């Protein structure tokens, strides 16, 4: 099985759900609507032997129409093929279905993504903060906050190449 076959099989079943197809080296990247992401992941797992969820993480592009996103990396060990799936979400309603029903290992990855980006995984068995304190009232990986405190005067800029 090669990349063209994979794209053909996915588009034949989910053509309307795929917004964009890219190739970076040997890896395929598909951008999929958030409603269809779990059915596509299930299809990849059950029909195309992508049995390993390598990673799941959040992304934030603050100037885009759909600023928050989730990136899934999957691996087919039989054919040694990797695939990347992306889905984007509204900043006001950052909800996507949990992948824990298909991949139990998604549990902590989804909790971390929730903790740092505020993306809500519907159907997650225990969606709560995993690394930050419970009373933190913001999501630190969103690009909504300055990198440095402009009121600090105790740093010597000569040491930072400025």
Q: How many CB atoms lie within 10 A of CB 16?
A: 8
Portion of the chain with pLDDT greater than 70, in percent: 93
- Identify the CATH number of the domain in which residue 62 sits: 3.30.460.80
In a domain, 3, yes or no: no
Domain count, the chain: 1
- Interatomic CA distance for residues 114 and 27, integer angstroms: 26
- Domain extent, residue 48, equals 16-147
Residue 78 pLDDT class (50, 70, 90 cuts): very high
Asked if the structure places residue 7 within a domain, the reply is no
Q: Which residues contact 50 (CB under 8 A, 6 or more apart)?
A: 44, 74, 75, 76, 81, 83
Which candidate, 92, 88, 139, 137, places its Cα nearest to that of 111? 139
pLDDT, tens only, 2-59:
888 999 999 998 988 999 999 988 899 999 999 999 999 999 999 999 999 999 999 9
Task: Note whether residue 159 is domain-resident.
Answer: no
pTM as predicted: 0.88
* 154 within some domain: no
Under 8 Å between Cβ of 89 and 119: yes
Asked if residue 158 is part of any domain, the answer here is: no
Contacts of 106 (CB under 8 A, 6+ apart): 53, 56, 98, 99, 100
Residue 60 falls within a domain, yes or no?
yes
Examine residue 57 and state whether it is found in any structural domain, yes or no. Answer: yes
């Amino acid at each position: 099985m090669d990349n063209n076959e994979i794209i053909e099989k996915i588009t034949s079943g989910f053509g309307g759900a795929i917004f964009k197809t890219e190739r970076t080296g040997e890896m395929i990247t598909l951008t999929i609507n958030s409603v269809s992401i779990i059915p596509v992941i299930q299809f990849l797992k059950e029909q195309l032997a992508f049995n390993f969820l390598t990673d799941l993480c959040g992304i934030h592009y603050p100037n885009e129409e759909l600023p928050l996103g989730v990136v899934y990396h999957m691996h087919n060990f039989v054919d040694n093929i990797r695939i990347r799936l992306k889905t984007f979400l509204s900043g006001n309603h950052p909800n996507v279905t949990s992948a824990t029903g298909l991949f139990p290992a998604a549990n902590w990855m989804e909790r971390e993504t929730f903790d740092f980006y505020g993306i809500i995984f519907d159907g997650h068995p225990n969606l709560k903060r995993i690394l930050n304190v419970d009373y933190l009232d913001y999501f630190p990986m969103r690009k909504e906050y300055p990198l440095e405190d402009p009121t600090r005067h105790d740093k010597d800029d000569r040491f930072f190449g400025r």
